[in-house]
Amino acid sequence: MPFGNTHNNFKLNFSVDDEYPDLTKHNNHMAKLLTKEIYAKLRDKQTPTGYTLDDVIQTGVDNPGHPFIMTVGCVAGDEESYEVFKDLLDPVISDRHGGYKATDKHKTDLNFENLKGGDDLDPNYVLSSRVRTGRSIKGYALPPHNTRGERRAVERLSVEALNSLDGEFKGKYYPLKSMTDAEQEQLINDHFLFDKPVSPLLLAAGMARDWPDGRGIWHNENKTFLVWVNEEDHLRVIAMQKGGNMKEVFKRFCVGLQRIEEIFKKHNHGFMWNEHLGFILTCPSNLGTGLRGGVHVKLPKLSTHAKFEEILTRLRLQKRGTGGVDTASVGGVFDISNADRIGSSEVDQVQCVVDGVKLMVEMEKKLEKGESIDSMIPAQK
């Protein structure tokens, strides 16, 4: 319930021209695609939970964007947003996800055995491996729109589900609001703790409301499987470990996710999913698999090669700094992960990472020996 938008019917007293946002200086997917006609068509609609068009677009109106970085500029408040506002969201999804059509079907594949290789990435170069995704609990509004009662219910359900895990998944929940200083210190040192969002992209969408109520971190005893509760999505699920054994990480990821899903289903609250959009998450950029599988890899020579960006694009990969999104690389170490989220399965996307990183490490070794890598440059996948 971002501010002022619950009284949508009152707004209809004003003309479209008077209410239509000024997007002339904006550069985000929403601003590109929200014509006055679409605004007029959708402005009197709301989802069953009361989420409106102005709620969807507020973050994009408040954050004009960057000339070089194209942000999405809109969010979903609940599962039905993607249906009720499809006249805006389908074009945004298509624009963001390389032409994904409104009629396309998305394939889900969490069978880790389908992954080939991935257990032999050179640990001299690949420092750590990580796979993350998000999940939304069916029947509850999403972080931009949920009430305190809903957020607390999601937390209760999630903690119950997670606490019933055993074996390598046995773990503990640390609610943000009652964490001890010692626990907090440890979670920071483990790089597990998430902070109240400061990004205006998230704040303008109302995702930091009532912080830290209903938020927390769960992780297993081995510290290789981690779940964030009520940050940017209901759940963010992360499997990670040092070194290059992506195969093991992906296996733990898939097994853990499936165990959690079984427990939620037993309580009649499965995950939000449909065959067109795959897993439903708050930000349209995370639809499909919502998966980002990546490694921290040392590529000091390759990263300065003229063709680095092109190689990444052809391999369907993206680079980030080691601090995550919108950070710079430190000491030639890059975070390399899959660029796609929708239209290909989890296995497909992790396969891209595994194959692509293996190739780039070989390229790095060649460059170290002063050899050319021209013959190794791949075709567009």
Partner 1 sequence: MNGTVLLCVTVAGQTEGSLATPWHCNKEGHTYFCSAVLKKAKALPFYLVPTVLHKTRPTSADSKSIWVKMASSFARVLSSKRKVGILSLVGAGSLTVGFFLNREHVNAGSNVRRIYPASAEYPDLRKHNNCMASHLTPAIYAKLCDKSTPNGYTLDEAIQTGVDNPGHPFIKTVGMVAGDEESYGVFADLFNPVIKERHNGYDACNMKHPTDLDYSKIRGGVFDDKYVLSSRVRTGRSIRGLSLPPACTRAERREVERVVIDALAGLKGDLAGKYFSLTIMTDQEQQQLIDDHFLFDKPVSPLLTCAGMARDWPDARGIWHNNEKTFLVWVNEEDHTRVISMEKGGNMKRVFERFCKGLLEVEKLIQEKGWEFMWNENLGYILTCPSNLGTGLRAGVHVNLPRLSKDTRFSKILDNLRLQKRGTGGVDTAAVGSTFDISNLDRLGQSEVQLVQTVIDGVNYLIECEKKLEKGQDIKIPPPISQFK
Kindly state the DSSP code that residue 195 receives in the 8-state scheme.
Answer: P
211 binds partner 1, rule: CB under 8 A? yes
171 strand-pairing partners: 220
CB of residue 272 to partner 1, shortest distance in Å: 17
175 binds partner 1, rule: CB under 8 A? no
C-alpha angle with apex 208: 205 to 213, nearest 5 degrees? 145
323 is in an annotated binding site: yes
Query: Which residues neighbour 142 within 8 Å (Cβ) at sequence distance 6 or greater?
Result: 75, 76, 77, 78, 79, 81, 136, 233, 234, 281, 282
CB of residue 353 to partner 1, shortest distance in Å: 37
Q: Output 26 or 130, the one with its CB closest to partner 1.
A: 26
Q: Out of 101, 172, 177, 191, which residue is the one contacting partner 1 (CB under 8 A)? A: 177
* Contact predicate 249/291, CB 8 Å: no
Judged by CB under 8 A, how many residues of this single chain contact partner 1?
39
265 binds partner 1, rule: CB under 8 A? no
Query: Please, which contacts does 21-24 make with residues 24 or more away whose CB atoms are closer than 8 Å?
Result: 21/57, 21/61, 23/61
Cα gap 74→58, rounded to integer Å: 7
61 binds partner 1, rule: CB under 8 A? yes
The end-to-end CA distance of the chain, in Å, is 42
CB of residue 177 to partner 1, shortest distance in Å: 7
CB of residue 320 to partner 1, shortest distance in Å: 26
Q: Output 112 or 140, the one with its CB closest to partner 1.
A: 140
181 binds partner 1, rule: CB under 8 A? no
CA dihedral sign of residues 231, 82, 204, 9: negative
183 binds partner 1, rule: CB under 8 A? no
Cα gap 345→343, rounded to integer Å: 7
Cα gap 287→98, rounded to integer Å: 13
372 binds partner 1, rule: CB under 8 A? no
Q: Output 50 or 332, the one with its CB closest to partner 1.
A: 50
11 binds partner 1, rule: CB under 8 A? yes
Cα gap 37→53, rounded to integer Å: 13
Site pattern 91..130 for partner 1 (x: CB under 8 A): ----------------------------------------
The residues binding partner 1 (CB under 8 A) are 1-4, 6-15, 18-22, 49-50, 54, 58, 61-62, 147-150, 152-153, 177, 203-204, 208-211, 213
- In the annotated binding site for ATP, the residues are 128-132, 191, 236, 292-296, 320-325
